[in-house]
Amino acid sequence: MSHSDFQPKNPALQWIERRLPIFSMMHGSFISYPVPRNLNYWWTFGGILAFMLVVQIITGIVLVMHYTPTTAEAFDSVEKIMRDVNFGWLLRYIHANGASMFFLAVYIHIFRGLYYGSYKEPREVLWILGVIIFVLMMAAAFMGYVLPWGQMSFWAATVITNLFTAIPGVGKAITQLLWGGYSVDQPTLQRFFALHYLLPFMIAGVVGLHIWALHHVGQGNPAGIDVKSDRDTMPFTPYATVKDNFALICFMVVFAWFVFYIPNYLGHPDNYIPANPLQTPPHIVPEWYFLPFYAILRAIPNKLMGVVALFSAILVLAFLPWLDTSKVRSARFRPLYKQFFWVLVAVCIGLGYLGAKPAEGAYVIIARILTAYYFLHFLVILPVLGYFETPKPLPKSISEPVLGKSGAASGIGARAPEKN
Amino acid sequence: MATSKTVTTEHTRRDFLYIATASVGAVGAAAVVWPLINSMNPDASVLALSSTEVDLAPVAEGQIITVKWQGKPVFISHRTKKEIESAQNVKLSELPDPQADSDRVKKGKDEWLVVIGICTHLGCVPLGHEGEYNGWFCPCHGSVYDTSGRIRKGPAPLNLAVPPYEFTSDKAIKIG
C-alpha cells in the first residue's frame, strides 16, 4: 500500500507504529493518498463495491446461523428465516438484493473502465485482478442462489454444472466430481454451501491485491493522462472520502428501495417452489446479472461451442489491455471509440433482454447477431480502431483544463490542506 | 570473465539438491491434494448401485410415466402403433445421432421405450408428448426429441440415453 511520513501523536499508538507501521500505512492509503483532482462520480463505485462486499459477508454470516444445508431442510430453513427469525426477513432480503446491487455496481465499474481505458498501461495487472474478482463474484452468486433449494436453485445448479459435460472426454467425470453423485443432490448442496462461505473471503483477498495495485500505479482519471505534478492531485481525505460517501449514500437509497419496497422484484417466483428433481419449470432463467452470458450460451446451436462462447465472453476481458491498440486512454478524446462503446453497452443490454426471452424464432436470430457483435467489438474493432482513429488533442495536464494556465501558474493546487 | 562463466554453467551438487528437494515437495503436494479432490467424487453409498423395479401393467397405451432411478428421472413410454411407426420410418441419415429404433427397445417389446429423462444438452427434464415430433421437448433450450427419444432438433448433441434394464416378466421391468 502507500506509506506516508505520518506519525501518530498518541504514545500508545506510537508504540504500536514502531513495531507495526499500520497507522502510517492507513494514513498514506486513505488520508494523504493523492487522487487526481478531476475524478467524476463514476469513480465512486470502487468504494461502493467494497461496502457491498462487507454487507454480503456480515449478513451472510448471520444467515448461516439459521440455515440448514440439507436437501430436506434447506427450503424450510430459509422460510423459517423469513417467518420466525427476528429480523430474518430483513437480513435475507438485504443479502439477496445485495447480490443484485453488487452486480449493478460492478457492471458500472467495469463499463467505467472500458470508457476511460482504465485497463491500459500501466494498469494491466490491476485490470486482470478485477476480472478475477468478477469471476469469483459470479461463482459466489451462483452457488448462493442454489442454497434456498427452490426450483430455480435446483435447475440453475443442474444447467450450470452440466456445462462441464461439454468438455470432450473428461466432461462426465468432472461433472460427477462436482456433483459428488450422478445428479445434483445432497453432496452438491453441501459443497456449494462450503464454497459459498469460502469465496467471499477469497474475493476480499483479491480485492486487497486490486487496491494494492491501484495505489502502486495510481488512479486513472477521466482525462486519461498521467498525473504530472502536485497541482493535478488532491488528498484522498477529505475530498475523495466525502465524494465517495455521498455517492454511497445515494446508492444505499436505491438499495433500500429494493429491500423495503420491491424485495422480490429481481427474483423469480418459481424459486418459492421447493426443488423437484423430476420436473423442470417450463421457463428457466438465471438471475438478471447472468442474462447476457446466458443469451450467448443459447445463441450457439452447438453444445461445446456454446459453452466455449460463454466462458470466452468473460475471458476476453482479461486480454483487453492488449486488444485495444490505441495509446489514448479516455474515450473523451477518441471520437470513434466513444460511439463503439455505446453500441457495446446497447448490445450487452440487448443480450440481457434476450436472455430472459424463450429461445425461439426471432429471439435466437437477434441473439446470434448480438453475440457476434460482442466478440467483434473486442477481437476486431478494438485492435483495428487504434490504427485508424485520429484522437483529439490531449490536454497538457489534468489541472490545465480546470484551472487554466494562469491558475496553474499561481499555484492554486496548493490549496490542499495536508501535503506530504 | 572465464571464471564466472564456468561458475554459472557448471552443474553443482547444490543444483542437484535444489531439484531433488523441489521434486520431493511436488510429489508430496500431489499426494496431499489427491485425497482432498477424490473425496469430492461420488461416495460408497452413492456408488452402491440401486436398481428400481417397475410394474408396467397400469401404464396405458399412449401414456408416459416417470420413475426415479439413481436420483435421475427415467421415462417409460407405452407407445401407440402410430408412435412406433413414426419412430421406425426415419432415414438414419437424417438423425444428428443416428440409431435405429430397434436398437433402443427390447426385441419384441416395441411398445415399451425406456430412456433416462435428462436432456443431453444441459440436464433439464424434457416434457413428454411435446414438440414437432410428438416425442419430448426440452423447455430450457429448445431441444426436440422424437418418439424414440432421439435428438432431432436443437442444441442437444445426443439421443436420450437408454438405461440398462430387463423384463422380469411380461409386464414388469428392473432398471439397473
Q: What is the residue-wise DSSP string for B20-34?
A: HHHHHHHHHHHHHHH
Which of B71, B146, B61 is closest to B104 using CA atoms?
B146
Residue with cell 461445446: A304
Residue B71's pLDDT is what?
78
Chain A hits for B142, CB-CB cut-off 8 Å, are 358-360
Contact assessment for residue B136 and residue B102, using Cβ atoms and an 8 Å cutoff: no
Q: What are phi and psi of A88, to 5 degrees?
A: -60, -40
Is the model's pLDDT at B135 over the cut of 60? yes
Using a 10 angstrom Cβ sphere, with 0-12 exposed, 13-18 middle and 19 or more buried, the burial of residue B114 is buried
Identify which of A162, A165, A191 has the shortest CB distance to residue B40.
Answer: A191
Residue B142's pLDDT is what?
83
Burial A97-132 (b: 16+ CB within 10 A, else e): bbbbbbbbbbbbbbbbbbbbbbbbeebbebbbbbbb
> With an 8 Å Cβ cutoff, are A278 and B140 in contact?
no
Q: Is the dihedral of CA A68, B52, B69, B64 positive or negative?
A: negative
Catalytic residue among B11, B121, B129, B141: B141
Report the alpha-carbon distance of residue A193 to residue B128 in Å, rounded.
34
> With an 8 Å Cβ cutoff, are A301 and B155 in contact?
yes
> With an 8 Å Cβ cutoff, are B40 and A281 in contact?
no
Which of B108, B119, B110 is closest to B82 using CA atoms?
B110
Contact assessment for residue A55 and residue A204, using Cβ atoms and an 8 Å cutoff: no
- Tell me how close the Cα of A48 comes to any Cα of chain B, in angstroms: 35
Query: pLDDT class for B8, splitting at 50, 70, 90?
Result: low
Which among A280, A294, A305 is the top mutation candidate for probing chain B, defined by the most B β-carbons within 10 Å of its own β-carbon?
A280
Mean residue pLDDT across chain A: 92
> With an 8 Å Cβ cutoff, are B141 and A298 in contact?
yes
Report the alpha-carbon distance of residue A221 to residue A215 in Å, rounded.
13
Q: CA nearest A305 in B: which residue?
A: B155
Residue B108's pLDDT is what?
87
| Of A13-22, A295-304, A314-323, B3-12, the least confident | B3-12
Query: pLDDT class for A420, splitting at 50, 70, 90?
Result: very low
Is the model's pLDDT at A82 over the cut of 70? yes
The percent of residues above 90 in pLDDT, for chain B, comes to: 47
Q: CA nearest B67 in A: which residue?
A: A278
Q: What is the pLDDT of residues A194-208, one digit of tens each?
A: 999 999 999 999 999
Question: Taking the model in full, what pTM does it have?
Answer: 0.88
What are the cell numbers at A255?
Answer: 438499495
Identify which of A181, A304, A360 has the shortest CB distance to residue B142.
Answer: A360
Contact assessment for residue A5 and residue A24, using Cβ atoms and an 8 Å cutoff: yes
Q: CA nearest B75 in A: which residue?
A: A278
Is the model's pLDDT at A416 over the cut of 50? no
Q: CA nearest A356 in B: which residue?
A: B140
Residue with cell 447476457: A292
Provide the H-helix boundaries in A180-240: 186-217
Q: What is the pLDDT of residues B22-72, one digit of tens each?
A: 999 999 999 999 999 999 998 888 777 678 889 999 999 999 999 988 778
> With an 8 Å Cβ cutoff, are B125 and A183 in contact?
no
Residue A322 CB neighbour total at 10 angstroms: 13
Is the model's pLDDT at A182 over the cut of 90? no
Is the model's pLDDT at A268 over the cut of 80? yes
Give the A window 292-351 contacts with B, CB below 8 Å. 298, 300-304, 306
> With an 8 Å Cβ cutoff, are A187 and B139 in contact?
no
> With an 8 Å Cβ cutoff, are B122 and A280 in contact?
no
Contact assessment for residue A353 and residue A299, using Cβ atoms and an 8 Å cutoff: no
Chain B hits for A180, CB-CB cut-off 8 Å, are 40-43, 46
Side chain identity at B12, as an amino acid letter?
A: T
Kindly state whether A279 is in contact with chain B, defined as any CB-CB distance less than 8 angstroms: yes
Query: pLDDT class for A400, splitting at 50, 70, 90?
Result: confident
Is the model's pLDDT at A406 over the cut of 80? no
> With an 8 Å Cβ cutoff, are A176 and B68 in contact?
no
Catalytic site includes residue B141: yes
Chain B hits for A178, CB-CB cut-off 8 Å, are 40
- Tell me how close the Cα of B110 comes to any Cα of chain A, in angstroms: 25
Report the alpha-carbon distance of residue A123 to residue A52 in Å, rounded.
24
Residue with cell 440409431: B99
